[in-house]
Homo-oligomer: A and B are copies of this chain.
Amino acid sequence: MTWNTPGLDELPVYEKLSKLARDPFDLTAPGAISPDRILSYKASAAGFDLLFSTQRVDDAVINALQQLADQSGAVDQFLAMKRGAVMNRIEGYESENRQALHTAGRDIFSEPPYNAEATQQAKRQLQDLKVFLDELDSGAVTNAQGEAFTDYVNIGIGGSDLGPRALYRALSAYARENRRVRFISNVDPDDAAAVLQDLDLARTLVGVVSKSGSTLETLTNEAMVRAAYSRAGLDPVKHFVAITGQGSPMDNPEKYLRAFHMYDYIGGRYSATSMVGAVMLGFGLGYDAFIEILRGANAVDRAAEERALRKNPALLLAVLGIWNHNFLGHETVAVLPYSQALLRFPAHLQQCDMESNGKSVTRTGARVSFSTGPIVWGEPGTNGQHAFYQLLHQGTTVVPAEFIGFRQSQHDMDLEIEGTTSQQKLAANLLAQALALAVGRKDENPNRFFAGNRPSSILLADKLEPYTMGALLALYEAKIVLQGFIWNINSFDQEGVQLGKVLANRFLEHMGIARRGEARDRDRYPESWTMLEAAGILQEDETV
């Protein structure tokens, strides 16, 4: 069975939406954002409310967007994905031909699961992890001196870094006592050096994460950290844990204390809830906290089956995004969490969204005739208000925004100043920004004029906890794949990263040739040789 649907612009409702987009709802008209509108433009699931009265939509647009969801079969495809359909393929061309089963790893709470085999594999890994974490607690596993591990270093890049790092940063308020986690990702040697600088290696576990066991950056950083262990006279096999594919070069008990497995049906950018995030988060926050993350994610995975937009915030986010991007023509979307703990969540979304949907061909290999994935960027509020919000309010480019906020803080430390707590100030600012962007302001001074009609949504939950974080993660994952289904693109491959790898190897070969003093194949590769010379990188090598 294939899941090629008509492209966005071949769906019957496309014409209607295009027509509606010529005269979108005017948020600046007096009374436009009425109490009725605010209260009814709201969707809820898994602890999150999505308020969208400040989007440039009215009932006609919402109905058309519902038709868009229906006609594209987005929800059916989501269900098929969960059941194990081979969603990761390009029909008629060589492609990865894989399932996309990141949802299976959190489908552990009900019987029968959507895909029994994948969920069974996930459960086995979770069981192994629980045993390992218990052994760390009981003292059955310690360092050579019999001491407990207090630190964990995660070595990985891309999906083996950004999602796990965002989750740990979001939840480190709940870190277990005497447990800290750090991250090394970049092939820049200063990344590992800075982390190693103030680490007690003897008390540190090192988790190396690579599905293939061959990611250059990760192996390089692993070697740097292993060298530090050797210098310190410590045995790496007592400290290094592998998170890798079964049978990969890293799946080797002679080199690693333990190995946990990841599977080819979960892409890196969707892997935070697999062992990729589990081992590190289990160490840092505890096993139960990780299960709560899965529970929150699973609640969204289930809500994402709902056909009605108002019961399915992920689907609603998806079609509102398409409205803003394809019909109103906005190239970017800003994700603006009013929570310092979500500092690195936008960086995770940049990968999850832009690597998934930054595509130019449909699932039959045809060139798309419409825009696919937007550029995703953002920083926490209120910080952003003192930075780039000037452009959001008065720039010549309209940036749709997705605000994320919480009613309560994580740490129980707040202070009332001028009659309100900091958490209240934070919430007031979030709501104020959404309203200000929407309604704008007239002013005689043209420099104080705000055009308004800058659309946004607000996602709200009670408190950023493991369950909420899991739900938020899954909400965006589901948004992204649902958009991919509607665009009829493959959101699960990443062929666009290959060319850079090929060329990087060519530059590295040149460096080796220059270093060894061999004849330079300059005629064959005039561009890369000259770029190296112009960059002044070869000169130093020649003096070696």
Q: Is A377 an interface position by the 8 A CB rule?
A: yes
Q: Given A157-B382, A445-B365, A499-B436, check contact A350 B388 (CB 8 Å).
A: yes
**Residue from the list B186, B418, B495 in contact with A380, Cβ < 8 A:** B186
Residue of B nearest to A419 (CB): B512
- By the criterion CB–CB under 8 Å, are A38 and B534 in contact? yes
Main secondary structure of the interface of A (DSSP, over half): helix
Known A-B contacts A355-B391, A358-B390, A396-B371; the reply to A503 vs B432 at CB < 8 A is yes
Q: How far is the CB of A477 from chain B (nearest CB, A)?
A: 15
Question: How distant is A167 from chain B, measured CB to nearest CB, in Å?
Answer: 15
Knowing A415-B189, A432-B507, say if A393 contacts B500 (CB, 8 Å).
Answer: yes
Complex CA–CA separation, A533 to B177 (angstroms): 38
How far is A244 from B380 in the complex, measured between Cα atoms in Å? 25
Known: A185-B383, A358-B390. 10 other contacts (CB 8 A): A188-B380, A188-B409, A188-B422, A354-B391, A358-B393, A393-B499, A419-B515, A431-B507, A435-B531, A439-B527
- A535 engages B413 (CB within 8 Å): no
Are the C-beta atoms of A188 and B339 separated by less than 8 Å? yes
A517 within 8 A of B: no
Bound Cα distance A375, B95 (Å): 34
Q: Mark A506-543, 1 if CB is under 8 A from B, else 0.
A: 11100110010000000000111111111111001100
Residue among B193, B351, B425 making CB contact with A187, cutoff 8 Å? B425
Contact between A388 and B504, CB atoms less than 8 A apart: no
- How many chain A residues touch B (CB < 8 A): the figure is 164
On chain B, the residues within 8 Å of A535 by CB distance are: 49, 51, 405, 407, 427, 431, 458, 460
Interface string of A252-270 (1 = CB under 8 A from B): 0000000000000000110
Residues of A187-213 contacting chain B, CB below 8 A = 187-194, 196-197
Q: Which residues of B contact A338 (CB under 8 A)?
A: 188
Q: Mark A445-476 against chain B: 1 for CB-CB distance below 8 A, else 0.
A: 11111110000001010000000000000000
A480-496 residues at the B interface, CB under 8 angstroms: 490, 493-496
Q: Could you say which residues of chain B place their CB within 8 Å of the CB of A189?
A: 409, 411, 413-415, 421-423, 426
**A116 neighbours in B (Cβ, 8 Å):** none
Q: Is A385 in contact with chain B by the CB < 8 A criterion?
A: yes
Contact A351 B500 (CB under 8 A): no
Cβ B390 vs Cβ A494 within 8 A: yes
